[in-house]
Amino acid sequence: MVHPSTPTGAPEQCRCGRPLYGPLAESLLPRIRRAAEGPHGITFVGSAAGGPDVPPVRVSWKQLHREACAAAAALQARGVAPGDHVALLGPTSRALVTTVQAIWLAGGCMIMLPIPLRFASVDDFMRQTRALLKSGQVSLLLVDPEMAAFYEPAPGDPPVLSLNEIQPGSPGVPAADDYRPVPDDPCRLAVLQFTSGSTAEPKGVMLPHHVIGANIDGMVEAAEVTMDDTIVSWLPLYHDMGLIGMLTVSMALGCSLVLASPLDFTRRPGDWMRWMDEYRGTITAGPNFSWVLATRALKRMNETGEKLDLSLIRIALNGAEPVDPDAVENFIEAARPHGFRPGAVFCAFGMAEVSIGGTFPPPMRGMACDAVDREALEREGIARPAHPGLPTTRRLPLLGRPVPGLEMRICDPATGEPREVRQVGELEIKGTSVTPGYYGRPDLTAQLFRGEWLRTGDLAYFVEGPEEERELVICGRIKDVIIIAGRNIYPEDIERAVGMIEGVRAGNVIAFGVEGARGKEAIVIVAEVRGAASLEELRRAIRRRVIEVCEVPPRDIVLVQPGTLPKTSSGKLQRSLCRKQYLGKELIPVE
């Protein structure tokens, strides 16, 4: 990709501080206004509509835009000006979605604060929230009444308003006609997205309007999204896949969106598939664990004779965490009686630092895997093809090609020297939807880039895909790799295998390395268990399974109660925090 350069040959930069790759993409505001003129809208279901027994609520994009204009006028009346940072704290609702758009209409930067999946400690939640408010230099905090009991203002906090106080129809809220349009500025920050698990040292990914716009353009082109698509999502709006990949794409394009709350999904995973049936959904997305839960729900439906029509699904995106090929195949088998087409499986890669969409496979291609020799991958960093049926083989999903506007390369993590096809190295990215960096953290931003290239921290390689174009394969995170006797052992492999043992909760296993005898690294397993007849027998089964996977016995196996493993607000396992808890003897084993 050729981009503008200065007389010295260095790339030109926009006001965001990143290289220019041609004209800046259109900002969100004109996109939203165009979408408001279309025929489609958003349907709130479940608790997002007001409760499990409340009928669904459909709002056209035109009506939502009018309501957002009124809310934006209310924000302006309270002094919100272009460039101000406004934070939101609340569950998925019509008011929350309206306010997201209102903040952008007022020229503000929106920060969606995470809601913990487990309220183990209100004090911890308050500490995390205050750290994010301080790091993001928030000038106004809008709190949903449901969350008011969990948030107690203290000296030094930004001003706090109830979300209801700026909604149309509330006392003193201006009309939509009172809204004063702000100048369109593609370089203005639209979102400050705090990365999963960034609590002790918050990292706010800066996403200007043109960066998000460029990523939306790339995703829409790669996934062939049209106005005729119906997107169905329960993903949390404090996660980039839910906020940008589902909500913002729909709001900016003007296609139909069916929106539920994560709480609805966790309570009744089968409702996800029922919404796809009822609303004739064509596109949906979720992390690997959610497809596992959907599989279990579909199996129960198959046993009871409940029938759904899933034949219209053309993109069933699996991303945000490592994709397990076995889990994908199990879902296909369970969904087949409901008309699901295997080609709809859409294994993708993304990250907040590129807005969300990184690589997409061709639509309706289905899952494709690369079968490689595990030992060559671990010892030599080479993805050597191997027979899929061998116990020494590791299957890794192909995650597609970079979405338009992005370029990728694989490099030696230490030197930056490019690697060849099937050589493992660090994935680096540059292009139109790459973040300028972390807000207020020039030190972390400097570490994030190697020249123009964003360093992802992911170990990956390229392979020739079925369409004879290079596709991305992710092996794991550099910081999580366990190095034993010159081998790079990927914890995902161990966690997946241990999670298949009866009595262990699948998706709730953490493997990490600790310093062992003579300074060598050793493996520790921490697993949530439920319904195990004998804990000692379960430990022996885990030990045998770990040896089968990596030929190295674990130094320690800790069995804990369900719901106690540390996870991010979006449900990702926190290996480094679990390791810290283990070393600090903070884990509480089951008796």
As a whole number, mean pLDDT of residues 39-48 equals 96
Pair (289, 226) in one structural domain: no
Pair (534, 504) in one structural domain: yes
Q: Range of 452's domain?
A: 268-479
Q: Which CATH number goes with the domain that contains 500?
A: 3.30.300.30
pLDDT on residue 120: 57
User: Which residue from 194, 91, 101, 191 is spatially nearest to 143, judged by alpha carbons?
Assistant: 91
**Range from 100-104, 149-153, 239-243 that averages highest in pLDDT:** 100-104
Pair (434, 286) in one structural domain: yes
Rounded mean pLDDT of the chain?
Answer: 90
Instruction: Assign 576 a pLDDT band (cuts: 50, 70, 90).
Output: confident
In a domain, 20, yes or no: no
- Domain end (from 444, 479, 514): 479
- pLDDT of 519 higher than 80: no
CB 576 within 8 A of CB 514: no
Give the number of domains in the chain.
3
Q: List C-alpha distances in Å: 195 to 192, 319, 572.
A: 9, 16, 11
Phi, psi of 395 (to 5 degrees): -95, 130
Phi, psi of 64 (to 5 degrees): -60, -35
**Residue-wise burial string across 86-110, b where 16 or more C-beta atoms lie within 10 A, e elsewhere:** bbbbbbbbbbbbbbbbbbbbbbbbb
- pLDDT of 200 higher than 90: no
pLDDT on residue 30: 97
Region of poorest pLDDT, from 240-254, 274-288, 537-551: 537-551
In a domain, 589, yes or no: no
In a domain, 409, yes or no: yes
Pair (571, 539) in one structural domain: yes
Classified as helix, coil or strand, 579 is helix
Quickly count: other Cβ atoms within 10 Å of residue 369's Cβ.
Answer: 17
Pair (327, 210) in one structural domain: no
In the chain, the percentage of residues whose pLDDT exceeds 90 is 67
- Enumerate the β-bridge partners of residue 504: 529
pLDDT on residue 484: 81
Pair (244, 277) in one structural domain: no
pLDDT on residue 209: 97
DSSP string, 412-456: -TTT-PBPPTTB-EEEEEEETT----BTT-HHHHHHHEETTEEEE
pLDDT on residue 549: 83
d(CA 188, CA 116): 29
Instruction: Assign 8 a pLDDT band (cuts: 50, 70, 90).
Output: very low
Q: Which CATH number goes with the domain that contains 306?
A: 3.40.50.12780
Pair (516, 557) in one structural domain: yes
- pLDDT of 3 higher than 60: no
Pair (475, 485) in one structural domain: no
Pair (60, 102) in one structural domain: yes
d(CA 371, CA 252): 39
CB 435 within 8 A of CB 206: yes
As a whole number, mean pLDDT of residues 91-109 equals 97
- pLDDT of 328 higher than 90: yes
- Domain end (from 249, 283, 299): 249
- Domain end (from 429, 462, 479): 479
DSSP string, 96-126: HHHHHHHHHHTTPEEEE----SS-S-HHHHH
pLDDT on residue 5: 47
All residues at 6 or more sequence positions from 176 whose CB lies less than 8 Å from its CB, including other chains: 66, 67, 69, 70, 73, 168
Q: What is the pLDDT of residues 298-311, one digit of tens each?
A: 999 999 999 999 99
Q: Are strands 369-373 and 204-208 parallel, antiparallel or unpaired?
A: unpaired
d(CA 573, CA 587): 15
- Enumerate the β-bridge partners of residue 59: 42
d(CA 138, CA 71): 18
Pair (464, 485) in one structural domain: no
Dihedral class, residue 362 (left if φ above 0, else alpha if ψ from -120 to 50, else beta): beta
All residues at 6 or more sequence positions from 341 whose CB lies less than 8 Å from its CB, including other chains: 311, 313, 314, 364
As a whole number, mean pLDDT of residues 156-175 equals 90
User: Which residue from 355, 97, 314, 101 is spatially nearest to 219, judged by alpha carbons?
Assistant: 355
CB 425 within 8 A of CB 381: yes
In a domain, 519, yes or no: yes
User: Which residue from 286, 217, 295, 188 is spatially nearest to 246, judged by alpha carbons?
Assistant: 286
d(CA 118, CA 116): 5
- pLDDT of 329 higher than 90: yes
Structure-token pair, residue 89: 């704290």
As a whole number, mean pLDDT of residues 557-561 equals 93
Instruction: Assign 567 a pLDDT band (cuts: 50, 70, 90).
Output: confident
Pair (344, 322) in one structural domain: yes
In a domain, 300, yes or no: yes
pLDDT on residue 6: 46
pLDDT on residue 428: 97
Pair (490, 472) in one structural domain: no
Q: What is the pLDDT of residues 349-387, one digit of tens each?
A: 999 999 999 999 999 999 999 999 988 998 889 999 999
415 vs 123, more confident? 415
In a domain, 97, yes or no: yes
In a domain, 273, yes or no: yes
- pLDDT of 532 higher than 80: no
In a domain, 138, yes or no: yes
